[in-house]
Structure 1
Amino acid sequence: MSDAPSASAAAAPRSNNARPSDEMLPFLNNFHDIFTTIGVVILLGGMGVAIGQTMAGLDVEEGSLRWQMALMGLIGGFAVVTWLLSALLVGHQRRILPGIVLCGAFSTAVTIILVWAYAQFLVQGVGVGEDYFESRFANAPEDMEFGREAVAYVLAQLPWSVRLLPVVAGLAALIPVAMFYFSFRLPFAGGLMGVTLAVLGALVLFTIDPFTTGTYAPAVSVAVGGILLLAGILFDARDPERTTRLSGTAFWLHFFAAPILLSAVLNVVQVGWTLEEADFANPEQTNLMAALASDSAHATQLAAVALVVIALFALVSLLINRRALIVSGLLTAGISIAAIVNQSGLDAPVVLAITLLMLGGVVVLLGAAWNPVRRVLLVPVPSGGPIARIFPPVSTAEG
């Protein structure tokens, strides 16, 4: 991957008031980015409304193959327009924030088309339909209970073309994101590509052995989040000065990794490393936010663990000089603080006030004392060599 200057670095060099270790924005060049993004959002919204009106005016049975083909054609046109806009705004003008919006719109449109195309291959080519499933499962034992044997029986009735559907969906999401990144080198697309690759790996495992992968879903989620975090650290290590697109990609990898890893770790605390059959039968038992919002003692314990994990995220953020890990965990931190304060029996407005004061105070203190705290933490860390590329030292010119 090239380490040429990123769009943010090229458009806004360090001639401003930012200090050497302050993170430059990997999603915004200047106000013109915001202005252009507003126009892009309005334009894409208008295209979406136009597609809806066009489909409503067609004299075709809704849901029929012709209707679906017309819809996919319009979505394809939408994707072409977003790509042309990307070539102008991202490829030529290096606009970052509009690029993020266009990347999301283009990737979503292309993913929908690719998944639909594979579904049509299954229906029209393989002959997979309602009658197909009825014939396959006509002799299924009525007293079969959920478990490995039941899953194995279902898989035995399905051809590999159907079993591969999760992997195809993952590839359908990866292809447009990879196209966008390798064409325009947008750091956001690079981070999103990392997420889709990690999820695709999990989907491959699910396709090979869905029961085991589902049983170990909490552990798999931790692995996905950990891989993204490690990838972000490795990208940062390749650009310790934070001046190229590698650093921008690392920012987004950290940004996506934090909520995935945090929720995965808390899910492990809530249900363990594996899921039991009862968890599959009652998914509400694994609802993390519902558990935190309850008034039970378990909610307090879970909230305390969440704050410990977020504190570890903050420590890692300070060591690697990345604030994205903390920002991604602020919502969960707020809910966790509220869950603990709520146990005191105070009224809801008082709980909200205390939560906001505590959360805001910690963030402000971290922001004000970021470099002094980093300097203390990095005392035992070498100021040069490979380790220093992972834990960049604080400049002596910074307070």
Structure 2
Amino acid sequence: MYSQNDLDDAVASGAITPESAASLRAFVDRQRSSPAVDEEHFRLITGFNDIFVSIAAAILLFAVGWIGQSIGQNLGFVVDERGPSPLAPALVAATSWGLALFFTARRRMALPSILLLLTFVGGVVGSVGLTLVTLFAAPELEAGQQAWVAGLIGAAAASAGAVAAFVHWKRFRVPITVAAGAASVAGIVVALIGAIIGDTPSTLNIVLGVVLVLGIGVFLYAMRWDSSDPARISRRSDVAFWLHLLAAPMIVHPVFTLLGLNDGNASIGEGLVVIAIYVALGIAALAIDRRALLVSALAYVLFAMNKLFEQFGAVSLNIALTALVIGSALLLLSAFWHQARAAVVGRLPGSLRGHLPSLNPQPA
């Protein structure tokens, strides 16, 4: 299987002409009876070898982390005498970078590249965070001081993650790296806000509000990448995909939580609100041609519809009825995605349509 990025690289290397690549894309579109722009392609695996290498890499990284923890314990470089050692994530990060030099830079394997990026950034965040906890965290601090120190440590660790993601992007250009960097930046903001406001009854709601605003910011940033490649034939589309995947839960979870829909009980009114919000998210997903919003909110709408069927007395079949309704609706939407998009996008102003994926993209 060849991805859009593979075709771009083949054109760049001179293996095929741009016209041949465009003809191949058009042929695939006709075979699928759906434009490639609506398929939401992204590289996850290039073959079973990706899975094989990822499993082997995960085992190796686990072993390296275990060895780092053992060395840290022997040196006394641990949190609270018997806690985790900063050496464990540091060795994981270093090993991930070394493996990426071969499997990402040379072999260009999709799934291992994603795994190694996440373990590299996560290892840097963990090593910096644990080091700062070891050096500066003190149980004798007052509650307000502990919140302040914890916030600053979290912000510093997230800053290290952002720098790590930037360095990794400059070297390897793995599409998910931009989302990892955006998540690190969001972590910096949330940690600093938490440090400023401390532990108060309203802290959770304030943090959720901040996460919602940050999620909207990530969504707009994703749209910037998307609008630069409306035909979705380059790596920029992959970057936008991961950013949308990050933005969706950052938007959806705070909205439903702040509305009080995560307390374990849902009235008929609350259930209808959830469904109405899900319909609105569905329209937005159609407009931007991204399904991440629908997937992120799926758990909430399943829970709400389950409660609605219970309210109407269908207790014994509530789960089955919920799955039947939602599953059927999503399958119908998938089958007629392009037609539904045309109905939604066709009603939008022309100035807005210009920033959205084209309904009838011309191969280039």
TM-score (norm 2): 0.79
Which residue matches 2:15? none
Q: What is the Cα deviation at residue 162 of structure 1?
A: 6.2
| 8 Å Cα contact 1:238-1:389 kept in structure 2 | no
- Secondary structure at the residue paired with 1:92? coil
Residue 307 (str. 1) matches residue 316 (str. 2): no
- Secondary structure at the residue paired with 1:390? coil
Unaligned runs of 5+ in 2: 12-20, 30-34
Q: Which amino acid aligns with 2:113?
A: G
Residue 387 (str. 1) matches residue 363 (str. 2): no
- Secondary structure at the residue paired with 1:21? helix
Q: Which moved more, 1:354-363 or 1:200-209?
A: 200-209
Q: Which amino acid aligns with 2:43?
A: F
What are the residue-to-residue correspondences of 1:8-23 with 2, within 5 Å? 10=9, 15=24, 17-18=28-29, 19-23=35-39
Q: Which moved more, 1:247-256 or 1:60-69?
A: 60-69
Which residue matches 1:232? 222
What are the residue-to-residue correspondences of 1:1-399 with 2, within 5 Å? 6=5, 10=9, 15=24, 17-18=28-29, 19-30=35-46, 32=47, 34-49=48-63, 51-52=65-66, 60=74, 71-122=85-136, 129-130=138-139, 132-133=140-141, 137=142, 154-155=144-145, 164-210=152-198, 214=204, 216-270=206-260, 289=262, 291-292=263-264, 294=265, 298-348=266-316, 350-381=317-348, 387-395=352-360
1:184-236 per-position Cα deviation (integer Å, ceiling 9, x unaligned): 11111112222222232232333344457655233223212211222211221
| 8 Å Cα contact 2:151-2:194 kept in structure 1 | no
Q: What is the Cα deviation at residue 71 of structure 1?
A: 4.6
1:6-43 per-position Cα deviation (integer Å, ceiling 9, x unaligned): 5685489773634332334323253x1x4323332233
**Cα distance in 1 for residues equivalent to 2:91 and 2:44:** 28
Counterparts in 2 of 1:190 and 1:263: CA distance versus 1, 3 Å: same
**Cα distance in 2 for residues equivalent to 1:258 and 1:70:** 32
TM-score (norm 1): 0.73
| 8 Å Cα contact 2:73-2:82 kept in structure 1 | no
* Higher radius of gyration, 1 or 2: 1
Counterparts in 2 of 1:260 and 1:47: CA distance versus 1, 3 Å: closer
**Cα distance in 1 for residues equivalent to 2:71 and 2:154:** 34
Counterparts in 2 of 1:75 and 1:214: CA distance versus 1, 3 Å: closer
Counterparts in 2 of 1:221 and 1:395: CA distance versus 1, 3 Å: same
* % identical aligned pairs: 19
CA RMSD across the alignment: 3.5
| 8 Å Cα contact 1:110-1:172 kept in structure 2 | yes
Q: Which moved more, 1:75-84 or 1:257-266?
A: 75-84
Counterparts in 2 of 1:9 and 1:258: CA distance versus 1, 3 Å: farther
Q: Which moved more, 1:10-19 or 1:353-362?
A: 10-19
Counterparts in 2 of 1:87 and 1:305: CA distance versus 1, 3 Å: farther
| 8 Å Cα contact 1:7-1:96 kept in structure 2 | no
| 8 Å Cα contact 1:41-1:101 kept in structure 2 | no
